[in-house]
Amino acid sequence: MVGKPRYMEIVDWVKERLERKELGPGERLNSENELSELFGLSRQTVRHAIGVLEEEGIVVRRQGSGTYVCDDRMATLENKTRIAVVTTYVDSYIFPRTIQGIENYLFERGYSVQIAFTNNMLERERTILEDILARDDVAGIIMEATKSGLPNPNLSLIERLVERKVPIVFINSYYPQLKLPHVTLNDRLAAEMAVKYLFDAGHRRIGALLKFDDGQGHLRFAGFLDTCRRCGIPAGDSGIVWLDTEGEQHLHDYRERILRNFRDCTAVFCYNDKLAFQLEVLLKEEGIRVPEDISLISIDDSELAELADTRLTSVHHPTDKLGARAAENLLAVMRNRSFDGNFEFVTEIVERDSVSGPAKV
């Protein structure tokens, strides 16, 4: 097995000191003689190590003065053309179209895309972030937060990327603790639109099926509550079912709780089409008809909305446009660090067959 080249001892040592903030922008590096003595290496090997650091944009040599840590790593970022895209999922539901929107926009502008997915798992997110930090070869990152409704142990890794001046734009969900731009659906308003639609259809006993481990679920719940209260509908205690990512995949495991909580509801607002699709199947198995006995409305306007036995009325998700806008805003942030990369889409309800007037009085 071939060992690590000796010059890498110096390269790694400098990078570690930068990570620990023992070296900062503009600071002078040890002289070649000092490094040669410190590591027991020849001057030629030391010069090679400094050359590698210079190529990576970490240091700059000033004739007659010495070697210094670069004042601004943006010059290095400008020479990189790879964008990392980190999403929870890649190959299902609405995610392929969002990624396609990102890829199309970036490819047309000369950037390549490096895709990784977390499966909405914190450990997987940590591994991906550590790899991005170790490689240090991306010009920017488009990222979807993992379980953004819960405390996250990986925020320090993202903060390290920010310290390295790597631009980051979040999509779909984000970490509110980090003051970083996001491009998302206006989740709160989407929920408000959905609940108001049910109210206008005559419903006064409206339930909600939501996810608690993603930030969107909290925002959609806030929109649900606000609209119910504006409309004079009791809400917030009964008629609410919260699930996590695991529960979203196995809705039938919560059959009794769902049936008990929605027993008196004439309509249910669902976190997304995936949950609405599964809920209709569960209700149908119990002999409960949609929309005759209970109406359903959801968010995403995905293919599942068309594939459901009763075609789902759903708030449209801009998918590919959201991906393209995230890519556009990331490049704008890369050009101008003061650019406000935030954008929230406001869309419309796509009417289908899952909502009618209330059957229960």
Q: Which residues contact 333 (CB under 8 A, 6 or more apart)?
A: 140, 167, 169, 181, 339, 341
pLDDT digits (tens, 9 = 90+) for 92-131: 788 899 999 999 999 999 999 999 999 999 999 999 999 9
According to DSSP, the residues that pair with 104 across neighbouring strands are none
According to DSSP, the residues that pair with 115 across neighbouring strands are 85
DSSP assignment of 110-125 equals T-EEEEEE-TT-HHHH
Averaged pLDDT, 138-160: 96
pLDDT reported for residue 361: 41
- 217 has a pLDDT exceeding 60: yes
Averaged pLDDT, 328-345: 94
pLDDT digits (tens, 9 = 90+) for 290-333: 999 999 999 999 999 999 999 999 999 999 999 999 999 999 99
Report field, pTM of the whole predicted structure over 0.85: no
Chain Cα centroid distance, residue 55: 32
**From 8-22, 32-46, 215-229, the region with the lowest mean pLDDT:** 8-22
- 360 has a pLDDT exceeding 50: no
Domains of the chain: 6-70 (1.10.10.10), 76-185+319-345 (3.40.50.2300), 187-317 (3.40.50.2300)
Amino acid at 124: R
Q: What percent of the chain has pLDDT over 70?
A: 96
Give the chain's mean pLDDT: 92
pLDDT reported for residue 92: 72
State the pLDDT confidence band at 358, using cuts at 50, 70 and 90. Answer: confident
